[in-house]
Amino acid sequence: MQPAQTPCPSTGILVQCRPGFEADALLELEAAARAARLIGKGEAVGTPGATLFRLDSPQPHDELRRRLDVSHLVFSRQAFQLIGRVEGFAGRDRLGPLLKALEALGERFSAILPETPDTNDGKEQAGFLRRFVPLLEAALAETGQLRPDSPHLPRLHVFLPGGDVALLGLSVASEGSAWPMGIPRLRMPKDAPSRSTLKLAEAIQTLLTPEEQHSTLRSGLQAVDLGASPGGWTWQLVSRGLRVTAIDNGPMAPSVVATGLIEHLRVDGFTWKPRKPVEWMVCDMVEQPSRIAPLMAEWVAGGRCRRSIFNLKLPMKRRHDEVERCRALIDQRMRAAGLKYILRIKHLYHDREEVTCYLTRR
């Protein structure tokens, strides 16, 4: 019988993001913390691609998780509750100090996520972690602290921000990315016409539950791709057997046309409407987000499609504000139609100056 576990307190929330988006990630995190009535302040981690909200007083991590759902954060690739810090993590014996710190915390874990900033320095650290983590896993399994057969236990994050410091954190599978650092390992399909296909592949895996993927991305369903050329997003749909109406004045790649599952119409994506409702509408048009958001809401609220994945191209400054503005525009249209809805927004790894959204009626 396992001894009772006394949870260690969390001292803050660390968010990993795309380098250059630290201010947006922190602004969003601070707003979420205020809404959860958490007292603290933003703090630099000392590396690009990460930011920290430091709590004024430590909180039990189960209670903190109930109060603040970090899975809803847009600019967060990965997030965890900070529970420890190991100094001097640069000598020949790195395993010993880390094991000592973890033993003092008194936690058990379902998995270990090795993480570094998404920088050149971080890539060098990642090479070390690939060799180090199997040793850590074996040691924690021997002491009973690592329990892969117990998915209800939190995951241990070992984050190396640089220098001789290791930060330790906790998350549960439902609130953080399954991928270390929130970076998916996706292969570029051989016949896909552009790398944008990876963006839609990541969106499907990130924004849809497994049940939603299985039930809504089935062979024979109808879809529309607004701004389709050269066909990266269309390819992602036809590869799953959907029939796609591709809307774009530009050409479609031969590999996509050869599937026999597309109809290409050279018309205006802002004015064209399908003759019958479709299951999916996807959109990667390069246009002002204040024009795209109402259009997407109109497609769903007006019954042209049941669900949509689309991009919002953001300005260089005040990106968080622009996301909230677009969220309000969508809410305005859905409320006018008297509809309850689901809207999920994420700054994906394959996104640059944009966010990707999923919208459907509830």
pLDDT tens digits for 191-203?
A: 899 999 999 999 9
Average pLDDT over residues 7-33: 94
In terms of domains, do 30 and 65 share one? yes
**pLDDT given at position 216:** 96
Which residues carry a binding-site annotation?
A: 196, 229-232, 248, 268, 284
Residue 186 CA neighbour count, 13 Å, CB half:
22
Question: Where among 136, 160, 182 does a domain terminate?
Answer: 182
**pLDDT given at position 174:** 84
The mean predicted confidence, pLDDT, of the chain is 94
HEC assignment per residue over the chain: CCCCCCCCEEEEEEEECCCCCHHHHHHHHHHHHHHCCCCEEEEECCCCCEEEEEEEEEEEHHHHHHHCCHHHCCCCCEEEEEEEEECCCCCCCCHHHHHHHHHHHCCCECEEEEECCCCHHHHHHHHHHHHHHHHHHHHHHHHCCECCCCCCCCEEEEEEEECCEEEEEEECCCCCCCCHHHCCCCCCCCCCCCCHHHHHHHHHHHHCCHHHHHHHCCCCCEEEEECCCCCHHHHHHHCCCCEEEEECCCCCCHHHHCCCCEEEECCCCCCCCCCCCEEEEEECCCCCHHHHHHHHHHHHHCCCEEEEEEEEECCCCCHHHHHHHHHHHHHHHHHHCCCCEEEEEECCCCCCCEEEEEEEEC
In terms of domains, do 167 and 254 share one? no
Task: Round the CA-based radius of gyration of the chain to a whole number and report it.
Answer: 22
**Of residues 231, 253, 254, the one with CA closest to residue 244:** 231
In terms of domains, do 123 and 22 share one? yes
In terms of domains, do 232 and 164 share one? no
Q: Which residue range(s) make up the domain with 104?
A: 9-182
In terms of domains, do 218 and 172 share one? no
With 80 as the cut, is the pLDDT of residue 301 above it?
A: yes
**pLDDT given at position 175:** 84
**pLDDT given at position 293:** 98
Decide: 29 and 73 in contact? Cβ < 8 Å. yes
* Distance in angstroms (rounded) separating the CA atoms of residues 150 and 161: 29
pLDDT digits (tens, 9 = 90+) for 107-166: 999 999 999 999 988 988 888 999 999 999 999 999 999 999 999 999 999 999 988 899
Residues 199, 313, 317, 340: which is the catalytic one?
313
* pLDDT interval class at 90 (50, 70, 90): confident
**For a pLDDT cut of 70, what percent of the chain falls above it?**
98
**For a pLDDT cut of 90, what percent of the chain falls above it?**
88
**pLDDT given at position 1:** 32
Average pLDDT over residues 168-180: 90
Which residues carry a binding-site annotation for S-adenosyl-L-methionine?
A: 196, 229-232, 248, 268, 284
In terms of domains, do 203 and 290 share one? yes
Average pLDDT over residues 220-249: 97
**pLDDT given at position 7:** 62
Average pLDDT over residues 164-188: 91
In terms of domains, do 129 and 172 share one? yes
Comparing 160-174, 223-237, 295-309, which segment has the lowest mean pLDDT?
Answer: 160-174
Comparing 14-18, 60-64, 197-201, 304-308, which segment has the lowest mean pLDDT?
Answer: 60-64
* Distance in angstroms (rounded) separating the CA atoms of residues 255 and 262: 11
Write out the two tokens for 48. 């690009």
Decide: 50 and 22 in contact? Cβ < 8 Å. yes
Write out the two tokens for 230. 């050269």
In terms of domains, do 173 and 217 share one? no
DSSP β-bridge partners for residue 158: 114, 168
**pLDDT given at position 191:** 87
Question: Where among 182, 206, 226 does a domain terminate?
Answer: 182
What's the CATH code of the domain at 104? 3.30.70.2810
**pLDDT given at position 162:** 86
In terms of domains, do 177 and 36 share one? yes
Decide: 86 and 98 in contact? Cβ < 8 Å. yes
With 60 as the cut, is the pLDDT of residue 4 above it?
A: no
| Burial class for 317, CB neighbours closer than 10 Å (0-12, 13-18, 19+) | exposed
With 80 as the cut, is the pLDDT of residue 291 above it?
A: yes
313 assigned to active site? yes
**pLDDT given at position 303:** 97
pLDDT digits (tens, 9 = 90+) for 235-259: 999 999 999 999 999 999 999 999 9
**pLDDT given at position 356:** 98
**pLDDT given at position 5:** 46
Q: Give pTM, 2 decimals.
A: 0.93
